[in-house]
């Protein structure tokens, strides 16, 4: 069973921009889209070997909600963490829970 870790009020997340958070010692990239959906994936970009995914651009590619790494521009699915350009590469994805307008991650 996963533990819920309180992150922040959902209202504090900027729309269509990423924010980094340290959760149980792991860097996580949080994204709130303009439709209100919130996603959380690992912040570490395996190609550049830097914690930069929270600085990437969000968008829609091939019908999937993605973030493009700011360094080499690889696209990561915000739901699954899978890299669209290389199916062998995946970053962690986290279940997001919103309760009483607060954001929690299941870890």
- Return averaged pLDDT per consecutive 10 residues of the chain, 107 residues in all: 90 97 97 97 98 98 96 98 98 97 95
pTM comes to 0.95
Three-class DSSP category at 17: coil
* CATH number for 54: 2.102.10.10
Q: How many domains does the chain have?
A: 1
What is the pLDDT, as a whole number, of residue 56?
98
Strands 26-32 and 38-42: antiparallel
């Amino acid at each position: 069973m996963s533990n819920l870790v309180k992150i922040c009020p959902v209202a504090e997340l900027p729309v269509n921009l990423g924010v980094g958070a340290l959760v149980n010692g792991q860097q996580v990239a949080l994204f709130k889209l303009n439709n209100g959906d919130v996603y959380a994936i690992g912040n570490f970009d395996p190609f550049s070997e830097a914690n930069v995914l929270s600085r990437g651009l969000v968008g829609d590619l091939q019908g999937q909600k993605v973030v493009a790494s700011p360094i080499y521009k690889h696209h990561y699915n915000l739901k699954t963490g899978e890299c669209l350009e290389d199916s062998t590469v995946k970053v962690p994805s986290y279940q997001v829970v919103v309760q009483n307008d607060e954001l929690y991650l299941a870890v």
